[in-house]
Structure 1
């Protein structure tokens, strides 16, 4: 019987023989299913760093550090941003760069996370993804022209259509958010470089100056009314630089300033310390105005309300509200501390989260609690809030084991509005940013298979909102089907995909006028590039010279401006050679 079954796959079959051997095909399928059911896909053998704890992975010291930053960036043609008209409301906050839609971490120097723009209704549509050469830890910022700045091992500037404008190809890994001043100068601090610096970039990507700190910069810079740049470093210093890059003052012994400083209306500078205290400093000379100790370590940025109240989260599991004189107004237990700052809604509601999103009234009472979902947390991602009070959060899905991440949207009353589902395979620690046209941007962490059994770290900037789509789909093979010498014959149990003999892999893509090509991959190895429709490739060979093989088929659309979109499918593959 076995000889007969496999012999059927090894001869040239005509239509009559195929019809008469349907019974044999059925037996072969049952045999294959029984053999593979207890066996996992080949992707399980891929090596990664998921055994590290969350904090170890967040502070992972990469091996390929470099301080060789070029004098000039790699510049690409500009593309129009196509900004659409949108309702804008007036809110009384200091932006940093006054007319940029999202110039600093959490939108403004008070870190309210509050945008003056309203976003299109749910569900949102992910319109494109822009790839980077490493994980995106920091949040993106957006200038007055709609240009988005962010880092993923290199430093990038792209337009609102997802087209690369320029990039700095040296090692500029920004764990915080960049900051944009009124003249369009972009400031970004590096971590894990051979020599860590705060960089100032002109809008064309060339380096204006750099300031050496000697230790990691996880802090996002903020910019005062007089142009002073404030940021922390892991030497335990809070630094203040003049706009020309020279030192104005430095306050030592704050102890590992992970947080981005916040600036009050009177100019007072607030920051937190890894050792668990909130510091208030005078802006003219950096002397300490007051210090408030909490009961746990702190990474989160302070946030400042319109009435001057300072909100900050500590790892002692409390959200604190402090008066401007440094005395406690109230504190409330939020079950877990967080590494991201609280955000403040248009009505003054404070939003802070870890495994749940808490909404806290201005008097310290809990307004509502929104569970993010099973194994989800937003520890590093601060909420972004649109002008109509809707909350946008980047969440990790089982981050310690690298499962994925999603964008979650919550109504002001604490009900779920929409969620994207997983858009990556490692997590989201980037905070969302809201553009003038209603697009929501967020960065992600991904591990991509580059060849069998090995992965590389890769990030994506994801764009949700109105605009032209740049996406690819795999039309064939379909998940949960059996293919016998290119023909779909029957559905499978448990949604697995089986290929016996060969199959034509077919793909489709949107925005064909901007498409460069579609690549077909098996286990991360490129097999074929197709530049025009129909986009297809015949999978018809042994890869491991075995009878039963386990593979991942991927189709990736590569767009001319730099965007990529992939769809991947695990398959069980039995190649019966023809003669």
Structure 2
């Protein structure tokens, strides 16, 4: 997954290593990143580093009418400004230092081996400032218009510069000593007379020769190329020898890498001759080339590729690649219908051509002639952009003289905002991928965009949707988590990936449902909130939701459940506790159902149950009789109970009693014996016993005090009875027998007289029961019985029981 710019960086390093190993000696300025105007003394305009892959702006810096940017070995940037200052910036665009001169500066600064800069100013002044922004020396020529850029000859300890000075007949090339005892003094001066002028051109240097281009006014205007001996300033030759180039030369010269050929352009106005010339190092014409566009001209120095190909932009916005033999390799229209007066081409190590032009236009063109992008800064036709320069990090710098700004352009991605939906699904899910082009289609148009999944086989072709968005879908993916990256290719041939390295997290495909379980830490609840713990897991993706379901029965026995499972609540936590507000008494079953992004757990049986009971039980008490006892009675009183409780069936039951109206006293307890049972109570004293039971159900609801009571008389003492008077005879033939019976009062632990029976004896014989009467369990009673003698005359005896 290597993007275009990453491949190009590798290529750039190889090219640089090839240059170092080459038998051709390196010329001036190859020691620095971009130390002078158009990179080096030959004006090759070619960097050993790969530039940006698109118009991705990293930062801007305000610079009043700034020159081209040069780059020192440490990566710091240098430029000059119309506001009379020379500047140094850090690679991130932050200010480092500035040096103020005495007049406006139009030239691009050249960087010496020690990091100092040399530049010329209006008024005939020249400066050398060290790498920290302090003046080393200055030279004052008295007058002159110095709008060109100097070139350094390290081996000669000289710097060459062109300027126009009226006292010397207009066009002048001058050499100053850079260092040593003569630093800042003139080495030599070459004046070209009043008919020669230099307008925006800068000298080139190939190691022993200085080349200058200008316009000579002899029977009209004619472009001229002059070669001078670098050490002395002596003119070696002039081309053409007699002013046969019809037009004005604004183009600085460029020198081939083998130093055998010099190239320069012509404005092309009002003639049908060539607009690009190739002159051999002996001053003879090697070839000339004319633009196919009528009236078009070449106003800037050609950039020179590694294979000797020349790249020039004509004034009709066409970029031409011309072979070293002068034949056209290809051309591309940069901006239809646009007139470009000043368009500058430079090349990076990968062969990408960068064109900055008036109108605020910035273009990128592939080595094969495909326009990669066309970016408009939006400032209009009067905006002039300087030639670019490329740093080691692949950042390209250029300035706008009319917009007072320095721009830094770096490598970016043509893709932004990658997204996919849904995050997760099953193999049947259709996943949709989207991504935006980071540049509008008017700047650079994508040709293809693809999504590459990490299964090694799946590639999704995206299609243009609308605006800047590309979209595509994929389905039938195998289970598993996915990662992906995007690849792209523009119509200009730029390829790359997003991200540059590594992968993006992608969707997950899950065909297996998660599992879950809940538990109840207690089987009974009495407060208004019950708690159900739960846990869940998934073997592939994450559990996204756990829901709690319930069903209930009011009888608490769980013999019959009401209705289907009912949803209660849910959470996105995978483990925890459900706190459930609750008020329905009875037994409730719970289960949990877990879900992931694509699957739902199937479950129909309960995980746990809870009884909710907030009502105290009611215990009913009975005995088989209200009276217990008799002479010598030695058995317990049986107290039966029945607990009225709907939800718990193993209550704890306590027996309490109260003796003769006294206070309640605890007697005994049955734990978890069921809702029905009995107690055996052993009384110790005769008297009235009131019994009651207090129950506590399984949920802890306590009856508190007996809900029902049962009073029992316990009596083991016999009552007494007598015949109170002698029977009296009644004339109707009956006897009246008066009796009295007594039993101590209840307060005396007795039960009272209930029945009185009359017995008789005849003439001393056996006793016979005669009759009886109910007395109502009273303490004392009297009664009369009418006795009819059953045996006739005789002696009758009576007694009572």
Q: TM-score, normalised by structure 2?
A: 0.43
Q: Distance in 2 between matches of 1:175 and 1:272?
A: 18
Q: Residue 383 of structure 2: which of 427, 439, 448 is its match?
A: 427
- CA distance 1:408–1:377, shift in 2 (3 Å): farther
Root mean square deviation of aligned Cα: 2.2
Q: Please say if residues 167 and 205 of structure 1, whose CA atoms lie closer than 8 Å, have aligned partners that are also in contact.
A: yes
The within-5 A match list for 1:380-395 is 380-395=342-357
Match of residue 256 from structure 1: 197
Match of residue 209 from structure 2: 268
- CA distance 1:377–1:408, shift in 2 (3 Å): farther
1:435-464 Cα deviation digits (max 9, x unpaired): 111000010144xxxxxxxxxxx4100000
Q: In the TM superposition, what is the alpha-carbon distance from 1:93 to its structure 2 partner?
A: 6.9
Q: Distance in 2 between matches of 1:283 and 1:149?
A: 26
Q: Distance in 2 between matches of 1:221 and 1:227?
A: 13
Q: Distance in 2 between matches of 1:377 and 1:442?
A: 20
Q: In the TM superposition, what is the alpha-carbon distance from 1:390 to its structure 2 partner?
A: 0.6
Q: Distance in 1 between matches of 2:151 and 2:378?
A: 30
- CA distance 1:228–1:155, shift in 2 (3 Å): same
Q: In the TM superposition, what is the alpha-carbon distance from 1:408 to its structure 2 partner?
A: 0.6
Match of residue 175 from structure 2: 240
SS at match of 2:383: coil
Match of residue 89 from structure 2: 158
User: 2:340 matched to 1:410?
Assistant: no
Q: In the TM superposition, what is the alpha-carbon distance from 1:230 to its structure 2 partner?
A: 0.6
Q: Please say if residues 340 and 379 of structure 1, whose CA atoms lie closer than 8 Å, have aligned partners that are also in contact.
A: no
Q: Distance in 2 between matches of 1:377 and 1:383?
A: 16
Q: In the TM superposition, what is the alpha-carbon distance from 1:196 to its structure 2 partner?
A: 3.2
Q: Distance in 1 between matches of 2:102 and 2:364?
A: 33
What is the aligned residue count?
A: 359
Which structure is richer in relative contact order (CA contacts within 8 A, separation 6 or more)?
A: 1
Query: Which protein has the bigger strand share?
Result: 2
User: 2:33 matched to 1:101?
Assistant: yes
SS at match of 2:344: coil
Q: Please say if residues 357 and 386 of structure 2, whose CA atoms lie closer than 8 Å, have aligned partners that are also in contact.
A: no
Structure 1 spans left out of the alignment, 5+ residues: 1-84, 398-404, 447-457, 468-579
Q: Distance in 1 between matches of 2:162 and 2:324?
A: 29
Q: In the TM superposition, what is the alpha-carbon distance from 1:391 to its structure 2 partner?
A: 0.4
Match of residue 82 from structure 1: none
Q: In the TM superposition, what is the alpha-carbon distance from 1:179 to its structure 2 partner?
A: 0.5
Task: Give the structure with higher Rg (CA).
Answer: 2
SS at match of 1:234: strand
- CA distance 1:198–1:337, shift in 2 (3 Å): farther
Q: In the TM superposition, what is the alpha-carbon distance from 1:296 to its structure 2 partner?
A: 1.6
1:302-327 Cα deviation digits (max 9, x unpaired): 10112321111122451000111100
Q: Distance in 2 between matches of 1:424 and 1:178?
A: 26
Q: Distance in 1 between matches of 2:379 and 2:398?
A: 11
User: 2:403 matched to 1:443?
Assistant: no
Q: Please say if residues 46 and 304 of structure 2, whose CA atoms lie closer than 8 Å, have aligned partners that are also in contact.
A: yes
Match of residue 145 from structure 1: 74
Q: In the TM superposition, what is the alpha-carbon distance from 1:380 to its structure 2 partner?
A: 3.0
User: 2:250 matched to 1:299?
Assistant: yes
Q: Distance in 2 between matches of 1:300 and 1:139?
A: 16
Q: In the TM superposition, what is the alpha-carbon distance from 1:376 to its structure 2 partner?
A: 3.7
Q: Please say if residues 378 and 394 of structure 1, whose CA atoms lie closer than 8 Å, have aligned partners that are also in contact.
A: no
Q: Distance in 1 between matches of 2:25 and 2:357?
A: 27
Q: Distance in 2 between matches of 1:352 and 1:412?
A: 13
Q: Distance in 2 between matches of 1:228 and 1:462?
A: 31
User: 2:340 matched to 1:340?
Assistant: no
Structure 2 spans left out of the alignment, 5+ residues: 1-8, 166-170, 217-222, 269-273, 413-801
Q: Distance in 2 between matches of 1:168 and 1:130?
A: 17
- CA distance 1:95–1:180, shift in 2 (3 Å): farther
Q: Residue 115 of structure 2: which of 184, 187, 190 is its match?
A: 184
1:224-264 Cα deviation digits (max 9, x unpaired): 13221011001311001111111000000252234211112
- CA distance 1:190–1:350, shift in 2 (3 Å): same
The within-5 A match list for 1:64-83 is none
User: 2:447 matched to 1:463?
Assistant: no
Match of residue 115 from structure 1: 47
User: 2:265 matched to 1:320?
Assistant: no
Q: In the TM superposition, what is the alpha-carbon distance from 1:268 to its structure 2 partner?
A: 1.1
Match of residue 330 from structure 1: 287
Q: Distance in 1 between matches of 2:113 and 2:339?
A: 35
Q: Please say if residues 320 and 328 of structure 2, whose CA atoms lie closer than 8 Å, have aligned partners that are also in contact.
A: yes
